[in-house]
Structure 1
Amino acid sequence: MKRSAQIMGLPIISISDGVQIGTVKTLVINPEKGSVDFLTIEQEDVQFSLKAIPFKKVVGIGEFAVTVDDHSAVIDLAEIPIANQLVNKQIRIKNTKAMTRKGQLLGEVTEFFVDEETGEIIGVELTTSDRQAALPAEFVLTYGKDILIVNENAASALVEEAELLWKSESLDQVLATEEKRAETGVVKEKDALQALREKQIEILQGKRVMKDIVDANGNVLIAAGTVLTVDDIVKAQEAGPSVIIDVSMNVDA
């Protein structure tokens, strides 16, 4: 996974001839898909139209460069209506306000994270009233030009470290599925929460905890080496979302 800031400004290299095509100017967001669909290009020679590379044409995004097979990966945005429309929407994500559907301000977005293989947005980093935290993309409902609309339960899904966004991916997927089911009326909210807890028990039961799990006050809730029982998992669930995520991140395979 890459921070958007790690991609911006990278040289774009053509593998076939070892030539630098330009540098990454902007990341073009597709708000409906929640993904980066194009990288626009900054080139030294003056261009009368904006050039870009479809994300699916990117071979790799490394520490020092973005690579493509050859110059044919570059397109003229003026000739691709869909790409041009996305650019004109000017979805920026960073420096937007994160707000719930009911108008509750969650914080200000300072960064977002991209799967360098697919372009999918994995999550966002934001500053709340009292801390810096990260939110899985599953809880984002709308990517707007100025406002990010998030699920009502987004505050409880915040994690302290951005790395947890992808390390706890399987648990987040389960949570996202249940959230969507609840929102579309397939199940009621309480049923969705119960289904999530049952899935967590199914995933974690019988696994060994690799470190001490502590509650919000720093008290050891589950000792390292414990083989998790249903009671252990329920205890972690009742201690809060951050505790059950900590458990899921620190069990043996």
Structure 2
Amino acid sequence: MLKTSDLIGFPILCADEKNFIGEVKDAILDLDSCRLSGLIIDYGSIIHYTRVIDFNSIYGISKNEVIVKFKKNIQQIKNFKLNEKFMKKSEKIVGVEVVENEGKLLGFIKDVIFEEKSGNILGFILTNGVIDDIFNGMEILPLDGPIVFNKNKFIISRNSRKSILKNIGGLKKLLELEQ
């Protein structure tokens, strides 16, 4: 399990040439199928280009690098099929409101949690601001119910709201002020 923010800056290694070819700049999320569809990378040694690696072309992701099987799997962005309705860069997801279907604001997306072997999105880390995060801790919204992305908002059902994991860390928990 990794967060998309963990990937930023990871070196990209090519297995067929056994050398460094770039570093991760962002992740592309497919909100329709709820998975990572690719990585945006800074590619090249002297002259840098922005390129994309389809997630299916990734051989493996470890705790400190991404391995691509073949150099030929690195594509220009214009050749990558990016459907703006369903696919977003992770940087465009961060800060998006999460609301209950009745309109109640639950927080804002801080990060995306995914499974590194399959690319499946497991959930979202929510924030209510730095001070609230420090005092109360983070919240995690598992991806176990319907989530609709509509007009730059994530809309979840009341049942999905009940599955939010609260107080992941925070001073309240550390000082045992909350049971």
How would you bin the TM-score normalised by the shorter chain? Answer: 0.7 to 0.9
Distance apart, 1:42 and its partner CA: 0.9
Aligned-residue sequence identity (percent) comes to 21
Q: Assess, with a 3 A threshold, how the Cα gap between structure 1 residues 105 and 85 changes in structure 2: closer, same or farther.
A: closer
- Structure 1 segment 43-54 matched on structure 2, within 5 A: 43-44=43-44, 45-47=47-49, 50-54=50-54
Offset at residue 6 of structure 1 (A): 1.3
Deviation at 1:78, TM superposition (A): 1.1
Q: Which has the higher helix share?
A: 1
**Alpha-carbon separation, structure 1, partners of 2:28 and 2:165:** 26
| Structure 1 unaligned blocks of 5 or more | 163-216, 219-253
| Cα distance between partner residues in 2 of 1:16 and 1:100 | 47
| Helix, strand or coil at the partner of 2:108 | strand
| Aligned CA distance change for structure 1 residues 19 and 86 (closer, same or farther; 3 Å) | farther
Provide the alpha-carbon RMSD of the alignment.
2.6
- Match of 1:138, as an amino acid? D
Q: Which residue of 2 aligns with 1:76?
A: 76
Q: Distance in 2 between matches of 1:61 and 1:149?
A: 31
Q: In the TM superposition, what are the counterparts of 1:63-102 in structure 2 within 5 Å?
A: 63-80=63-80, 82-83=81-82, 85=84, 89-90=88-89, 92-102=92-102
Larger Rg: 1
Equivalent in the alignment of 2:147: 141
Distance 2:41 2:164 in 1: 34
Question: What is the alpha-carbon distance in structure 2 between the residues aligned to residue 110 and residue 148 of structure 1?
Answer: 13
Instruction: Give the Cα separation in 1 of the matches to 2:27 and 2:16.
Output: 24
User: Higher strand fraction: Structure 1 or Structure 2?
Assistant: 2
DSSP-derived class of the 1:75 partner: strand
User: For 2:89 and 2:103, how far apart are their aligned partners in 1?
Assistant: 22
Q: TM-score, normalization: structure 1? A: 0.57
Deviations 1:120-177 (A, max 9, x none): 1100111257542111112351245732221222332111477xxxxxxxxxxxxxxx
Q: What one-letter code is carried by the residue in structure 2 that aligns with 1:83?
A: L
Q: 1:132 & 1:46 partners in 2: Cα distance?
A: 36
Give the aligned length: 161
The 1-side partners of 2:43 and 2:151 are apart by: 26
Checking the alignment, whether the CA contact within 8 Å between 2:98 and 2:109 is kept in structure 1 is: yes
User: Greater relative contact order (Cα 8 A, min sep 6): structure 1 or 2?
Assistant: 2
Q: Decide whether aligned partners of structure 1 residues 12 and 90 sit closer, same or farther in structure 2, where only a CA change above 3 A counts.
A: closer
2:158 paired with 1:158? no
